[in-house]
């Protein structure tokens, strides 16, 4: 089987984890803070907080900005359900809009058409590592007075006009799930340039503790919860961040090989990268007709391919929920869901494996 992805875990990661185990300090502590510092420096952002997942990070960001009952938050239809679920979990209304059929990121015209006086924020998704257009978002944000919380789950290392994803939105949230090329096993990273928000979130993720320079608890200033990322998981992430450029370069090399091999094949089309964007290629996707048939056949032949993600309006949690508002026909999203196919892409993938994927895909669609 040629896998969809295989985490690249080196001996250094094992060494770092063993050091944590030997230290006896297993919960969040100095190793986690080092990871936060390294990621913030890499992204060029003032503040980074490690949390239990991208989903809990999105929920924390919404709570930090005061999003709650009576508010609306606009999200794209073509995304993992967590994007919209986080909105519902804080008591707000997810307003689901269509995506651009070529980039698969949020349709900015559909976004703006869905704004109402109750709209407090938008959560665009830099899908598969393709960054959103922050210029368009900035214009809409200023015009309507919205917060932008970016679901950057798959977009570590992506850029827009020379700025790193994670340093462009009000708050950005990354995933460190094993399908991500920088992983901690489970976990997430939340970034912001706003010191007041960073302090609130730091307190919230530590049970509402007062934030002091020593990080010692002397008071509880708010109701909070436990979203801490352990030193054990952070140690894995630190080893990954040590080679983040190597990991990114390899993914982009493999993506370029795929693009060259697939660009002229009949029956296959490639998604468009956001103008001004630099894709991180967390996932490499193509559009094909009869996606489910192609996917099943390739799996039978030993290639682990997968759908892109989900079209939320097709699922009961969102289409039969009076606390969710669907806005528009979702034609772009449905096209993405029905035709998007994710191909294997991992650090140690060989040219022979890539050629095999291309050959079998060509046979299926030819």
Catalytic residues: 180
Q: Calculate the CA 230 to chain-centre distance.
A: 21
Q: Give the HSE-up count for residue 337: Cα atoms under 13 Å, Cβ half-sphere.
A: 18
Tell me the DSSP string of 118-155: TEEEE--B-GGG----HHHHHHHHHHHT-EEEEE-TT-
Measured CA to CA, the distance from residue 257 to residue 199 in angstroms comes to: 44
CA distance 190 to 238: 16
**Measuring CA to CA, which residue among 296, 321, 318, 319 is closest to residue 307?**
296
Closest CA to 230 of 58, 16, 25: 25
Among the listed residues 174, 214, 226, the one whose alpha carbon sits nearest the alpha carbon of residue 40: 174
Residue 172 β-bridge partners = 150, 191
């Amino acid at each position: 089987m040629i896998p969809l992805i295989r985490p690249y875990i080196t001996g250094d990661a094992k060494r770092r984890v063993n050091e944590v185990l030997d230290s006896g300090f297993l919960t969040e502590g100095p190793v986690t803070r080092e990871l936060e510092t390294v990621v913030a420096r890499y992204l060029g952002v003032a503040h980074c907080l490690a949390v239990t997942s991208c989903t809990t990070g999105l929920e924390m960001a919404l709570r930090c900005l005061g999003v709650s009952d009576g508010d609306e938050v606009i999200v794209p239809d073509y995304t993992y359900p967590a994007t919209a679920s986080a909105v519902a979990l804080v008591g707000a209304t997810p307003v689901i809009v269509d995506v651009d059929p070529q980039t698969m990121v949020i349709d900015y015209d559909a976004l703006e058409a869905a704004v109402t006086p109750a709209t407090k924020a938008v959560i665009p998704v830099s899908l598969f590592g393709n960054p959103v257009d922050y210029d368009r978002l900035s214009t809409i944000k200023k015009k309507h007075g919205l917060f932008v919380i970016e679901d950057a789950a798959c977009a570590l290392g992506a850029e827009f006009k020379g700025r790193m994803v994670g340093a462009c939105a009000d708050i950005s949230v990354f995933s460190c799930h094993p399908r991500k090329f920088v992983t901690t096993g489970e976990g997430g990273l939340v970034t912001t340039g706003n010191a007041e928000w960073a302090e609130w979130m730091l307190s919230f993720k530590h049970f509402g503790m007062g934030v002091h320079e020593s990080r010692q608890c002397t008071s509880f200033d708010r109701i909070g919860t436990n979203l801490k990322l352990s030193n054990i998981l952070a140690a894995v992430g630190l080893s990954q961040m040590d080679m983040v450029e190597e990991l990114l370069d390899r993914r982009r090399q493999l993506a370029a090989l795929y693009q060259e091999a697939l660009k002229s094949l009949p029956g296959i089309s490639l998604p468009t990268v956001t103008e001004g964007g630099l894709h991180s290629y967390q996932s490499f996707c193509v559009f094909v007709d009869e996606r489910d048939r192609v996917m099943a056949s390739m799996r039978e032949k030993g290639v682990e391919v997968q759908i892109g993600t989900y079209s939320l309006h097709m699922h009961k949690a969102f289409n039969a929920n009076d606390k969710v508002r669907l806005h528009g026909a979702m034609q772009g999203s449905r096209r993405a869901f029905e035709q998007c196919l994710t191909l294997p892409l991992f650090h140690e993938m060989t040219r022979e494996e890539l050629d095999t994927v291309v050959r079998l895909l060509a046979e299926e669609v030819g």
